[in-house]
Structure 1
Amino acid sequence: MHILIVEDEVGIVKFLQQGLQEEGYIITTASDGLMGLEYTQKTSFDLILLDWMLPKMNGLEVCKAIREKDDTTPIIFLTAKDTVQETIEGLKAGANDYMKKPFSFEELIERIKIHFRVQKEADILTLGSIVINLNKHIVSVNDNVIALTQREFELLTYLVRNKGNVCTRNQIIEDVWDIHFEYDTGVIDVFINAIRKKLNLKIEQDYIKTVRGVGYIANE
């Protein structure tokens, strides 16, 4: 698991980095809020330990900016601020947890484990009778495992994550294929047809619908 520590106090950073690495975690550190935010935009982290009082951009601003990007990475505030109002502010900004300095390292470890456990349990996506296990990279329909290619898995997962919203062909090409220039989006139709065939759903289970001239929508 990869943890980002955004903290400007060198002593705390060294303490956390050493302790967490001994627990087997991969650690990246940022010494100011702006640097921390930039890291989250370039790298996928499993959890963020975020100080409130930071140079350049405070923790509250960083937290809000992360959530505005629809990034659901668990965030734990580590801060000396401990009034009820400040706690509420942090949670409203999108933080998942809050620990007052000085804190027990053993308690921090347990809280981290809880967030990872909750996160793992949440890594299941469903669309009607379709179940996607993101951890095991398995798609099943009525408990029958469906063999999808990597690209088919990514495309189906993308549509289910955006369940209820129309995904245009251009959005899919950019977000799933990571292509940001003019490209023949007809390839998407080929993959959608392959996915539908493999899922072998009944007519009333047409969970992936074509929005003519626009793209696709996953809906139950």
Structure 2
Amino acid sequence: MAGRTNVERGRDVRARLLEAARELIGEVGWSGVSTRVLAERAGVRYGLVHYHFESLQALLRQATLEAMSGMLDETAGLLTEAASPADGVEALLSELDRYNGSDPASLLFIEGYLAATRDAELLEGLSEIVKGFRTALATSLADAGHPSADAAASLIAALFDGFVLHKGLDPELSAARIAPLLRTLTSSEPIEAIEPNGAQP
């Protein structure tokens, strides 16, 4: 069998570096990843890191954005498969139950959000990914006749983030505990306004 071309070898090296970056961000944190440790984890020569990426920061940024984009695309697909937005949102919540707040995927998200406060390019990329997810959710809700689809989508997306964060603090937290309440947010029935003092108008 003919040997691989330089282009194929280059793709393989980049893929290994990105995979190693995703693993290490979750294990040692964004700032704990060094070029040398990354190269060792990927099983490549030290110099190849900067040959394929302009900087370590650029590599970590791409690894994080690709991971988050893939995970959100995967979960957003549950919306299109569900019989209703309520069923889809509940399926999304149940999918999040496999994360406990301290697993590598959860930590990658957390580290990515923190790093974005200091990295304008990462912030822009993450914003676009989250915006895309919210748009897909809002469209699903609007098609079902939800009276405040955009606001509900923003609230649900934020709830999902908080759910993963809080699971790291409360192992007893589960999708089953909050799914019934979450369903009320996806209802197409208008929610009655509440006065500031808690009284009904």
TM-score (norm 2): 0.27
Higher relative contact order (CA 8 A, sep 6+): 2
Greater helix proportion: 2
